[in-house]
Structure 1
Amino acid sequence: MPAVVAVTAVAVGTAVFMATVPQYRDWFDVYVYYGAVDTWIRHGGGIYDYVRPGTGYGFTYPPFAAVCMLPMLVLGRTAAVMGSVVLNAAASAVLLRRLLGGLLRGPGAWVVAGCLFVMLEPVRDTFSLGQVNLALMALVYADRGRGRFAGVGIGLATAVKLTPGIFIGYLLLTGRRRAAAVAAGTAAAATLIGVAAAPHESWVFWTQALWNTDRVGTLDYVSNQSLQGTLARLDAGRPAWALAVLAVLALWGYRVRQAAAAGDDAAGLALTGLAGCLVSPVTWVHHLVWALPAVVWLAAAGRRAAAAVLYVVLCSSVVWLWREDASGVDGFLGGSAYVWICLGLLALWPRLPAPDRAAHLQATARPADRRP
C-alpha cells in the first residue's frame, strides 16, 4: 500500500506540474512539416518554399525527411498531430526501456519513471512542438551499433536529420567499422531516395537551405543551447566557434575512448549525445533530449545527488529567464545553463573504479545482453 500511495502521489504531482508550469508550443513544428509536404505534393510548390504564416520558419530537414512525412497528408492536420503524440509516446517507451530496463522493477517503478521523464523540459517541448528528436533518438538507441542490423537505425536517423551522424563517428572511435559502414551506407541510400523523389528540392537543400540558419531562427536566441548559441550571444565570430568545436570534439574522442576501454557502451553513447548538442550550430532546448542519457548514467553509476540536481535544472526552464536580455554575467551563466551542463558533464565525466564499473554494467544491461 505505501508503494501505491507513493506512485499515486508522483502521478498527481506530475499532472499538477504539467498543467501549471510548462509553456506549450501548440504543435508548431508538426504544422510546419504538414505545410511543407502539403505545398510540395498538393500545390506543386517546393518543400523549402513553405513558410508558416506569420513567422519566418520553414522546413529545415533533408528531402528524405519530407518523404517519411508524406503519410500526414493522408491523415490530415488534426490526425497528424495525434500521430505525432503517439509516435513520441512510443519512442519514449523504447528509450525508457533501453536506458532503464535493467534498473526498474514492477509497474509502479515504470509509472514513476514515465512521470519523471515527461516533466523534463526537452521532452515536454518535443511533445508540444510535434518534434522528431525522440523518434530519432529511439532509432539510435535501438541500434547502438550492435546486433544483426547494426548501423541501420543510426543511418536512418542521420538521413532524416543530419546531427545524429555524430554517432557514426562514435562507431568508428569504438572500432565498429562494419556498423559504421552500414550506418553511412544506409544514410546515403536514404538520401538518394530523397533525391529520386525530389531532385530539385535536394539541390536546394544541399546548396542553400542547409547553410541558411536564419530559416530556423537567430543563432543568439536563448533557446539555442549550443556552443554557437553561447558565442553568438557574446558576439564572437565564426573562428571562435570553430576552435571551440574542435576542442569539444577532441575531448569527446578522448572520453569515448576511455569509455570503450572500460567496456561501457552506455557512457559512450551518453557522451556522444552531449557532444552532438554542443557542436551543432543550433541546439534548441527540445534538442537536449540527446543529453538526457548522461543524467541517467550518473544516477545508475551512483552519482545520484548530481543527477538529481541536473534533473531539477532540466525541468526548470531556467534559461527562459533571460529570454529578453542575455547580457551581463548573469545572462552569460544563466542564459546558457544547459551549455554549461553539457560541457561540465563532458569535461568532468566520472571514471568508475573497476568494481563499481562492473556493477554499473550489470545494472544497465538489458536482459537480452546478459550472459546466463
Structure 2
Amino acid sequence: MTPTLPGIDSADAERVDSETVGTDRRRLLLILLLATAVTVFTVTVPLLRDWFDLRVYYGAVNTWAHHGGRLYDYRVPGTTYGFTYPPFAAVGMLPMALVGLHTAIALCLLLNLAALAAVLYILVGPMLRRYGWFGVALALCLLALLEPVRDTFSFGQVNLLLLALVLGDAWLLSTGRGRWAGVGIGLAAAVKLTPAIFIGLLLLARRRRAAGLATAVAAAATAAAAWVAPDASRFYWTEALWDTNRIGRLAYVSNQSLQGVLARLAEPAEPSRAAWALVVLAVLCVWARRTHRAVTAGDWTGAFALTGLTACLVSPITWVHHLVWLLPSFAVLLRHRRLLWVAGSLYAVLCSSVVWLWFDDASGLDGFLGSNTYVWITLGLLLWLPVAQSSVGRRPLRHRVMKTAPAPTPATPTSAPATVQPGREDSFLATGTGSPCAPAPASARGEGRGEECGGSNDPTGSTRPADSKPQSSSERAS
C-alpha cells in the first residue's frame, strides 16, 4: 500500500510516484543516449592519444629505478621526448616502477576520476547534490567531450590532479578553514612549476601564512627530491629546465599560450623574447588588478579562475590538455544565468578541436585567428569574466566591524534579534536558493548591507551546472 500524507489521497500519491518513475526513466534514457554519443565521438573524431605521456613517465621512472639509467636521458622509443617535470614529480611516480604498464594505466585512470570528482565537488557540489545521480552523470558526459579533459585522460596526464590540489586550497579559504591552505598549492608547484603563480594570488590576497606555507611545502618537497635524487635534481635545475626543446616546438598548434601565438607568427624564425616579456607583463598587470578586486570582495572562485587563466597565458608552453585550468572560469559563468549562453558557446568551441584545422599551416589571417582560438578564449575570459559581483556564500577577507546599536529607551520597543539562517552549505560555489527573507532591523545592519539572510534573490547567486605532439600523430611528450 502506498503511504499517503495528510491531505493527499492514495490516488494522488500513486500519480506522483508514477510521474517520478517516468521522469527517472526519461533521465536514464537521456544519459544512456548521451553516453553512447560521447563514446562514439571520443573513439572516432579526436584520435585517442594512447596514454603517450604516461608512457613517458612510466618508461623514465622504470629505467631510472630498475636499470640504473639517468632520469632525464630516457626517450620514448622512436621519438625525442622524455621526462620534463621536476625530480619531485618523478619521486612521486616511483610506485609505477612496482607495477606493469597496463596496471599503471588503470591506476592513472582511477586517480584522474577521483581528481575530477573532487574538482566537481568543489566547483558545483551543491548543484550535483540537488540533481543527484542525474546531475553527476550529465556532468561526466559533458566533461568527457571537453577537449582538455578528454586529452588529460587519454594522455595519462597529471593536470586534473594538480587542479584538485589547488582547488582544495581554494575550498579551505572560501569556507574559513584556512589553517592548512597552501599545502595543495605547494605540492602542485613542486610537481609542475606553473601552479606556483597561485602563491602570487595568496600574496595579493594578503594571506601571508598560506603563501608562506605553500612556499615552504614546495621547497621541502624539492629538497626531499634532491636528497633522494641529487644527480637528477642538479641536472634538472641547471640544464633541463632551460631547454625548451625537451618539451616540444613552441610554434606547434597545441601550444595555446601567448608564446605559442608569437612563435606561429614568427615561424620559421624564433619569436621575440622582448615582445613576449612585454605581453606577459601586461597580462600580469591585468591579472593583479582583477584578482585584487575579487579577493577584496571575497570571491575566491573568481580569484582562482583568473589565476588559472593567467597561468595558461604566461606559461611558455600550454598544451591543449593544460586548459583544464579553465574549469573554474566555467563555474563562475554558471552562477550567472544571463551568461549561460556564453558558457555554452565556449564549451562547444572547446569540444570542437577547431585549432587542429591549422595543424599543417597556420599562416594568413585565418591561421592567426583560428590556430589561436583557445588563446583568444582564455584572454577574453581574463578580461571579462564577471568576478566580485555577488557576495552570496562568500567570506570576505576582513570581517567588518559592526557599529553597536544604542540601548533602546523605555519608550522604544526592543527589536527582535536577527536569527542565524540554518543549513547554510560550506561550498566553493554558493547555491543561491533565492529563498525570501525579511529585512533585518536597522540596528542589526551595517550601512548598505541590505537584508540579512542565508539565501539570495539575485539570480547571479545560483549555480548550474619538436615537432608535433601526438594529438594526431605519435609525437610529443608532456
2:89 alignment partner in structure 1: 65
Runs of 4 or more consecutive aligned structure 1 residues displaced over 4 Å after TM superposition: 359-362, 369-372
Residue 348 of structure 2 is matched in structure 1 by 312
Q: Distance in 2 between matches of 1:40 and 1:205?
A: 14
Provide the C-alpha distance between the structure 2 equivalents of 1:58 and 1:7, rounded to a whole number of angstroms. Answer: 40
1:358 aligns with 2:391: yes
Matched, 1:178 2:209: yes
- For 1:216, the equivalent position in structure 2 comes to 247
Residues 192-231 of structure 1 aligned to structure 2 (within 5 Å): 192-231=223-262
Match of 2:294 in 1: 259
* Secondary structure, aligned partner of 2:85: coil
1:164 to 2:195 alignment: yes
CA distance in structure 1 between the aligned counterparts of 2:104 and 2:148, rounded to whole angstroms: 21
Distance 2:59 2:157 in 1: 14
Q: Distance between the aligned counterparts of 1:329 and 1:360, measured in 2? A: 45
Unmatched 5+ stretches in structure 2: 1-22, 396-422, 431-452, 455-478
What corresponds to 1:248 in structure 2? 283
Is 1:300–1:360's contact at 8 Å kept on the other side of the alignment? no
Q: CA deviation at 1:110?
A: 1.1
Residue 103 of structure 1: how far off its partner (Å): 2.2
* Distance 1:140-1:366 versus aligned 2 partners, 3 A rule: farther
Q: 2:103 aligns with which of 74, 79, 95?
A: 79
- Residues in 2 aligned to 1:207 and 1:57: alpha-carbon distance in whole angstroms: 19
CA displacement, residues 144-177 of structure 1 (integer Å, 9 cap, x when unaligned): 2632321101100100111110111111111111
SS at match of 1:368: coil
Look up the match of 2:426: 368
Query: Contact 1:98–1:366 (CA<8 Å) still a contact in 2?
Result: no
Kindly provide the amino acid, as one letter, of the partner of residue 253 in structure 1. A
Match of 1:112 in 2: 138
Report the CA distance between 1:44 and its aligned residue. Answer: 1.2
Offset of residue 118 of structure 1: 1.5
In the alignment, structure 1 residue 142 sits paired with structure 2 residue 180 = no
Q: Identify which of 117, 122, 129 aligns with 2:148.
A: 122
RMSD: 1.9
Q: Which residue of 1 aligns with 2:379?
A: 343
Match of 2:59 in 1: 35
Shift of 1:16: 2.8
- Relative to the length of structure 2, the TM-score reads 0.74
Quote how far apart the aligned CAs of 1:297 are. Answer: 1.3
Identity rate, percent: 56
Q: Does 1:92 align with 2:140?
A: no
* Residue identity matched to 1:93: A
Contact 2:87-2:226 within 8 A present in 1 as well: yes
Q: Computing the radius of gyration over CA atoms, which structure comes out larger, 1 or 2?
A: 2
Cα distance in 1, alignment partners of residues 280 and 381 from structure 2: 16
Match of 2:461 in 1: none
Unaligned residue ranges in structure 1 (runs of 5+): none
- Shift in Å, 1:90: 0.6
Contact 1:301 1:360 in 2 (8 A): no
Q: 1:76: Cα distance to partner? A: 1.6
- 3-state SS of paired residue (1:253): helix
Contact 1:102 1:366 in 2 (8 A): no
Equivalent residue letter for 1:292: L
TM-score calculated relative to the size of structure 1: 0.94
Counterpart CA distance in 2 for 1:207 and 1:77 is 31
Report the CA distance between 1:315 and its aligned residue.
0.5
Contact 2:58-2:96 at 8 Å conserved across structures: yes
- Report if the CA contact (8 A) 1:296-1:307 is conserved: no
What is the aligned partner in structure 2 of residue 286 from structure 1? 321
Which residue of 290, 296, 299 corresponds with 2:334?
299
Match of 2:27 in 1: 3
Decide whether aligned partners of structure 1 residues 203 and 307 sit closer, same or farther in structure 2, where only a CA change above 3 A counts.
same
Kindly provide the CA deviation profile for residues 59-80 of structure 1, in whole angstroms up to 9, marking residues without a partner as x.
Answer: 0011110000000011121111
1:191 aligns with 2:227: no
- Residue 360 (structure 1) shift: 7.4
Bigger CA drift: 296-305 or 201-210?
Answer: 296-305
- Provide Cα deviations, 1:6-62, integer angstroms capped at 9, x if missing partner: 333333332332233222111111110011112211111211010111111110011
Q: Deviations over 1:260-290 (max 9, x none)?
A: 1221110111110000000000000000001
Greater helix proportion: 1
Counterpart selection for 2:366 from 299, 306, 330: 330
Kindly provide the CA deviation profile for residues 188-225 of structure 1, in whole angstroms up to 9, marking residues without a partner as x. Answer: 00000110011111110001101111111100000000
Contact kept? 2:302, 2:387, Cα under 8 Å: no
- The aligned amino acid for 2:275 is A
Give SS of 1:195's match.
helix
Measure the CA separation in 2 of the matches of 1:349 and 1:290. 14
**Partner of 1:48 in structure 2?**
72
CA shift at 1:358, angstroms?
3.3
Contact 2:329–2:385 (8 Å) recurs in 1: no
Once the two structures are overlaid, the 10-residue window that deviates more, 101-110 or 11-20, is 11-20
Supply the distance in 1 between the matched residues of 2:353 and 2:315 (Cα, whole angstroms): 21
Decide whether the 8 Å contact of 2:89 with 2:192 is kept in 1.
yes
- Quote the offset at 1:352 in angstroms: 6.1
Name the residue aligned to 1:26.
Answer: 50
Query: Secondary structure of 2:318's partner?
Result: coil
Q: Is the 8 A contact 1:121 1:286 kept in 2?
A: yes
Q: Is the 8 A contact 2:42 2:48 kept in 1?
A: no
What is the CA distance between 1:313 and its match in structure 2? 0.6
Task: Provide the residue aligned with 1:14 in structure 2.
Answer: 38
Asked if structure 1 preserves the Cα contact closer than 8 Å seen for 2:298 and 2:388, the reply is: no
